[in-house]
Amino acid sequence: MELRDIISSAAGGGTAVLPSGEFEGPVVIDRPLRLVGKNTTIYAKNGAAVYVKAPNVTLEGLRVEITEGDVSDVAIEAECPAAVSEVEVLGRVRGFGSEDGNFDVPRTIALGNICADEENTFRLTVNVPEKTTIECSLNEVRFSPNVLSAGRNEITLSVSGISARTLLYAEALFKSKFIRRVSVTGRPAADKPVRDKEIYTAPSAESLTDVISMTAPKAENSAKLTMTRGMRTSAAPYVGTEFSVWFECRKNRKMDIDPYVFMLDKDGRAVNEKGFVFFGNERSEDGAVRYFPQDGHIEINLAAADCRVEKITLAYAVYAEPQSASGSENCFAYVERPRVSLCTDTERVSFEMDGLSSETAAVAMEFYLYKGEWRISAVGAGYNNGIARLCRSFGLEVTE
């Protein structure tokens, strides 16, 4: 049953309980209702995912997000006052009083190399629209203060007690009326502790624009970014429109991992067969994408893409000869630390696709047009039916 059917079947003034899972909006609530999610995500590619158009509405236990817009786009819009409880949002809100203000905190805080044996300290300056508390999933990662006042706040982030053999990954929840989730990453590799390093400074009120930066890139092309699954950002500050793509991992010698690039139109369909670049077609018809079989890297020139192309999807597929009588080890369970790098004169963007297992193919990244701007999306989604399923989903005929 679709969400709108569940909502429409609930009596006015009653409760609609939504199932777990991800559901595409928009969802419109046009009468008094308590909308309760159970590990439920409502998303929209562009435009608000949830509209409240009636009084006496309560939103509870939901995650609401914009998937192809910017974090400055409105995810929840209310024409009438609405109550919220345990609602996580990716995007802005409108119609919730002071909560409508600017929330400028990076989605990912990449600490880089840290010292495992001593305390490391970092500084952030953030903007929050309301009193906000910070809760972190790891005791080894501490924010001070952990209660922020509305407006501009300076925060000290301390890290200590991390095992030298463990990558740091933590999630911090910034809680006001709504919840915003922030990832904290780091690598215990530094010989000396990091002291008082500035890692993020939100724009001052005088310099704010309609776009909230996820990682505060510098204006010059020296910015570097470590992306995590689901993260999106503008391509311009990091790689411009012309860059190379490299893949690295640990695998056995009999395993091959090949790249596949799909050039798609506004409907997510391949523009033509020449827009599918792989070992059997090393160059797109417009020359915007080229594959180099000698070392397996890809070169992309976004500015040269056919005018019909609005998305370029980068995928990788595994092939391995049988290792035993039980069958072939041709899946990502046998691939350690698969990592994608975007480079110009040096590495500018990296994304480690963790969490893959029995999948034989994975979409690593997407480059897409949004309001005339090329953007980067870290996807990391695996598929058990291999590259053939992806080809068919993009309108390409394949034989197996």
- Between CA 27 and CA 48 the distance in angstroms is 9
Contact status, residue 255 vs residue 148, Cβ threshold 8 Å: no
Helix ranges (DSSP H) in the chain: 3-9, 386-393
- Between CA 7 and CA 130 the distance in angstroms is 30
- Between CA 272 and CA 286 the distance in angstroms is 11
Contact status, residue 315 vs residue 262, Cβ threshold 8 Å: yes
CA distances from 350 to 45, 181, 226, 338, 369 (A): 24, 21, 5, 11, 20
- Check residue 211 and give its pLDDT: 29
pTM above 0.85, yes or no: no
- Check residue 325 and give its pLDDT: 41
Q: In what order do the strands lie in the sheet with 74-78?
A: 27-29, 50-52, 74-78, 92-94
Q: Would you write out the chain's pLDDT as a tens digit for each of its 400 residues?
A: 678 888 888 888 889 999 988 888 889 999 999 999 988 999 988 788 999 999 999 999 999 998 876 667 889 999 888 999 999 998 889 999 888 887 888 888 888 889 988 999 999 999 998 999 999 989 999 999 999 998 899 999 999 988 888 788 889 999 999 999 988 888 888 889 999 999 888 876 443 333 222 233 333 444 688 998 888 888 988 899 999 999 988 876 667 889 999 999 988 899 888 889 998 899 999 899 999 887 789 999 999 999 999 999 999 998 855 544 444 567 888 888 889 999 987 889 999 988 888 888 899 999 999 888 899 999 988 887 778 888 888 888 765 5
CA distances from 147 to 136, 156, 198, 301 (A): 12, 12, 20, 45
- Between CA 378 and CA 385 the distance in angstroms is 21
- Check residue 296 and give its pLDDT: 84
Positive or negative, the CA dihedral 325, 331, 337, 341 is positive
